[in-house]
Amino acid sequence: MNRIKNHPILDSNERRKKVKFYFDDKELFGFENEMVSSALIANGIKEFSIHQKNDMPQGIFCANGQCSKCTLIIDGIAQKSCITPLKENMRIKTLTKLPKLPPDDEALGNHKKRELKCEILVVGGGPSGLNAAIELAKLNYSVILIDDKEQLGGKLVLQTHKFFGSIKDCYAGTRGIDIAKKLENEIRKYDNIKIFTNSSIVGIFKDQKVGVFQENKNYLIISFDGVVVSAGAREKSLVFPGNHLSGVYGAGAFQTLVNRDLIHSSDKILVVGSGNVGLIAAYHALQAGIKVAGICDILNDVSGYKVHADKIKRMGVPIYLNHTVLVANGNEKLEKVTITKVDNKFRPILKTAKTFEVDTLLIAVGLNPVDEFYNMAKNFNFKVVKAGDAKEIAEASSAMFGGKIAGLEMAKKLGNEIKIDENYFKKADILKSPPGKNYSIKETELTDKYQPIIYCDQEIPCNPCVSVCPNDAIKLENNLGNILDIPKFDGECSGCTLCVTICPGLAITLAKKIDKKHAEVILPFEFIMNYSVGEKIPLIDIDGKYLEYGEIKNIRQLKKKKIHLITVITSLKNGNKIAGVRVQDENVTKPLPKAEYDYIPEDAIVCQCEMVTVKEILNYIKKHKVRDINQLKNIRVGMGACGGKTCNSLLSRIFKMAGVDWNDVKRGTDRPLNMEVPMGAIINEE
């Protein structure tokens, strides 16, 4: 099975109960209550359905219940496999074309209505929702929190890296998975918070109630006075030929499989998008033993934090800026991806095309807020606020403060005259700040005493190295007067290595001069330790450039912090330049000798549920002078099982291609949010 059994950060989850299930009548094994999609991928099955339009196999895309590409026939009913827990003896079948309704000829059994009431309903148990609920509980409100996952924490449960920000305000220097546990432990202290996990809100109604599909079996109706919507975000798709192939999916889905479920989902990946999500996904792949061919981005500069990008380049992953995906190819599943440079109008320069052999293409080109419940509640004139990514796409550190603010704003809407601390707003604004100015790193002259070499040269919200230094020897430059300022060493170093181990960007080393020719450098290392003392390893500068091989003097494992510190002997001339260890051979990242592709851009799929191409939409817009997205429903755009969640964000580009000003186009009517709920569950038939 394709399970990750050895990981530098995560503990093996092999102790879970193993259960037998059947896929297309073949006996397989998985873990009880893991998602069906995860169990199948762990068994090497990545194609879940056959599309009715072109007989093309479909795999996952979001692994978050937001699209419908993973739909399977599970115990006779079409269900999204990424949010359906695996049970003993489940009968699962490939969805071939359109599902059929199962016969329903049995007499109605016992049934009953389940109702609850609370003062405030919180939709979503990520960092913003948890903090909102905690603030409200402190004010003695009765709160019900609904989350569709087994574990609280939202995307935090997928993040094995250390977070930026400040230690005091948002657990900076702590791994996302550990922040999730801290927040869950905190929220469970309050008796006035009732928590429903593995439960989804499937409808919001104008009589101030919601319907909840609880644990995939019961239907609850919950009445509320106010609602906080913190449902997170869904991943954006991208239009290019071959975007519908199995193996093309979101970076968040990849993190779900690799970090939450410990599944070796891929052998070699390529990432589109150099924001923090794409950069971190590449890093997580390397930690899981998965090869990374590279990262490409259509923009001139990396859009995520530079320390993340520098870290990735040091590991041996190239970043191709001013590049876009030209086409994905494969025989019913992804096998090759071709990227190309673009000109100043973002048009592909075909002669620069490069083709990579990969089995997975991660789409990390941004997120769309899941705010439909907020919009519906607002239309019904309910007391409602939103928080986190549902309000504004930002880092989880900012979402924590956004949640606090949302909780207090909800209390004010309910008549509480509480005053919100102005510092909350200021801190939230700083924590969501985009990367700022870059600075030149001044070369440090080594002495016979250790001193930190800091490779953090961009204004980002982060200060844990300053906070942990016992000698107050690391300070922030005073250019901006807040934690966006870059750190500098100014004082005496005790060699404690706290700054090295806590830095989220692995951007600090300790170095000292040994003699006239040699230096000693201490490096952070977050991978499986396959090196030994006396071995020589490839050492890299901040930009990923090879400098020299250094001999390992010592390896120190910090089990609690889940990091190794490697002490290496190097040349004196490079001791103040060495920033890391290359973990991936450069041969892994080489493209094929000759680009291989057939480029027909109008063949790209826009609506993946209904397999509607760019060409079909363009022709329809031009022929019928379309100025209302609802008209596109005539050719099935937005009429698929995902309710238009994926294709709607792509249509502005298609209208532009048709020569239509997007401002002149009437937006489509939102489809009701839904997931598959059996009729028997709605009446709680027993």
Q: In whole angstroms, give the CA distance from residue 648 to residue 497.
A: 49
Q: In whole angstroms, give the CA distance from residue 110 to residue 686.
A: 5
> Within a domain: residue 340?
yes
Element holding 74 (H helix, E strand): strand 71-74
Is residue 97 classed exposed, middle or buried when 0-12, 13-18 and 19+ CB atoms within 10 A define those classes? exposed
Identify whether the C-beta of residue 229 lies closer than 8 Å to the C-beta of residue 133: no
Q: Which domain holds residue 501?
A: 451-589
Residues 6+ apart with CB under 8 A from 490: 473, 474, 475
Q: Does the pLDDT of residue 674 top 80, yes or no? A: no
Identify whether the C-beta of residue 396 lies closer than 8 Å to the C-beta of residue 163: yes
> Within a domain: residue 27?
yes
Torsion of CA 102, 104, 109, 115, to 10 degrees: 60
Tell whether 280 and 315 lie within a shared domain: yes
Identify whether the C-beta of residue 59 lies closer than 8 Å to the C-beta of residue 69: yes
Tell whether 221 and 248 lie within a shared domain: no
For 111-147, what is each residue's pLDDT tens digit?
888 999 999 999 999 999 999 999 999 999 999 999 9
Residue 389 DSSP code: G
Tell whether 344 and 382 lie within a shared domain: no
For 153-194, what is each residue's pLDDT tens digit?
999 999 999 999 999 889 999 999 999 999 999 999 999 999
Q: In whole angstroms, give the CA distance from residue 272 to residue 274.
A: 7
Q: How many domains does the chain have?
A: 4
Identify whether the C-beta of residue 172 lies closer than 8 Å to the C-beta of residue 466: no
Q: Which of 589, 618, 653 is the last residue of a domain?
A: 589
- CATH value at residue 252: 3.50.50.60
Q: In whole angstroms, give the CA distance from residue 125 to residue 235.
A: 18
Q: Which of 589, 615, 635 is the last residue of a domain?
A: 589
> Within a domain: residue 3?
no
Tell whether 455 and 571 lie within a shared domain: yes
Tell whether 63 and 185 lie within a shared domain: no
Q: In whole angstroms, give the CA distance from residue 462 to residue 456.
A: 10
> Within a domain: residue 596?
no
Q: In whole angstroms, give the CA distance from residue 543 to residue 557.
A: 26
For 19-35, what is each residue's pLDDT tens digit?
999 999 999 999 999 99
For 374-417, what is each residue's pLDDT tens digit?
999 999 999 999 999 999 888 888 999 999 999 999 999 999 99
Average pLDDT of the chain, as a whole number: 94
Tell whether 123 and 152 lie within a shared domain: yes
Tell whether 320 and 417 lie within a shared domain: no
Q: Residue range 56-75: average pLDDT?
A: 91
> Within a domain: residue 444?
no
Contacts by residues 442-449 (CB-CB < 8 Å, ≥ 24 positions apart): 443/576, 443/577, 444/489, 444/511, 444/576, 445/576, 446/511, 446/512, 446/513, 446/519, 446/572, 446/575, 446/576, 447/512, 447/513, 448/512, 448/513, 448/514, 449/493, 449/495, 449/512
For 185-237, what is each residue's pLDDT tens digit?
999 999 999 999 999 999 999 999 999 999 888 999 999 999 999 999 999 99
> Within a domain: residue 297?
yes
Q: In whole angstroms, give the CA distance from residue 268 to residue 641.
A: 30
Residue type, 122: V
> Within a domain: residue 684?
no
Q: In whole angstroms, give the CA distance from residue 445 to residue 157.
A: 41
Tell whether 280 and 206 lie within a shared domain: no
Tell whether 92 and 152 lie within a shared domain: no
Tell whether 246 and 221 lie within a shared domain: no
Tell whether 129 and 227 lie within a shared domain: yes
Tell whether 387 and 464 lie within a shared domain: no
User: Terminus-to-terminus CA distance in the chain, angstroms?
Assistant: 37
> Within a domain: residue 679?
no
